[in-house]
Amino acid sequence: MNTPDKILESRALVRFQDCDPFNHLNNAAYLNYLVNAREDQLVKHYGINIYDVKSLGGKSWVVSSNQIAYIRPARLMEEVVMQSQLIGYNDSETHVELRMFNHNKSELKAVMWGRYVHIDLVQQKRTTHSEELMTLFEQALHSVDEVNFEQRAASLKQFYYK
């Protein structure tokens, strides 16, 4: 088995309907762009479609928390790059970092941490990850040095905007 990619990446254009009156990506829309990118990346890189409940044995993930820092505005019709990586996990949760950049990744637009709980959709309760998923998570894990979101956001800002 090949080692899975640790940092997943995709691109999108900032669309008119997602912008505020100043032609900036609306704050709430950042979440949609980042989460949609992660969902697409999971299918492309790991073959995991979180909406194909049958293939997941009646299980999937729900959001338990999101933290986001808005660093620079994304503008109407700007091409943005979204990266995501698994930064932590346990037997029933995943912890993911998502980042949005400009087209050449020289400008960080936003950073987000999302926590997701694995649930049994029939029983409507938390469940544990399969051995197969735990093996994938072990191989895909790309942790960060910072222990909390505020430290991570500050570290990334300092790196990109010295």
Please tell me the CATH code under which domain 8-160 is placed: 3.10.129.10
Q: Give the pLDDT confidence score for residue 1 in this predicted structure.
A: 44
Alpha carbon of residue 79 to chain centroid: 18
Dump the DSSP string for 24-47.
BBPHHHHHHHHHHHHHHHIIIII-
Pairing of strands 59-70, 79-89: unpaired
**Does residue 108 surpass a pLDDT of 50?**
yes
Which contiguous run of DSSP H or E holds residue 93?
A: strand 93-101
Note the pLDDT tens digit of each residue in 140-153: 999 999 999 999 99
Q: Which residue has the tokens 């992660």?
A: 38
**Distance in angstroms (rounded) separating the CA atoms of residues 63 and 94:** 10
Instruction: Give the DSSP letter of residue 75.
Output: B
Q: Domain ranges in the chain?
A: 8-160
Tell me the pLDDT tens digit for each residue of 8-67.
999 999 999 999 999 999 999 999 999 999 999 999 999 999 998 888 899 999 999 999
Mean pLDDT for the stretch of residues 75-93: 98
- Nearest CA-CA partner of 127 in 98, 156, 91, 154: 91
**pTM for the whole structure:** 0.94
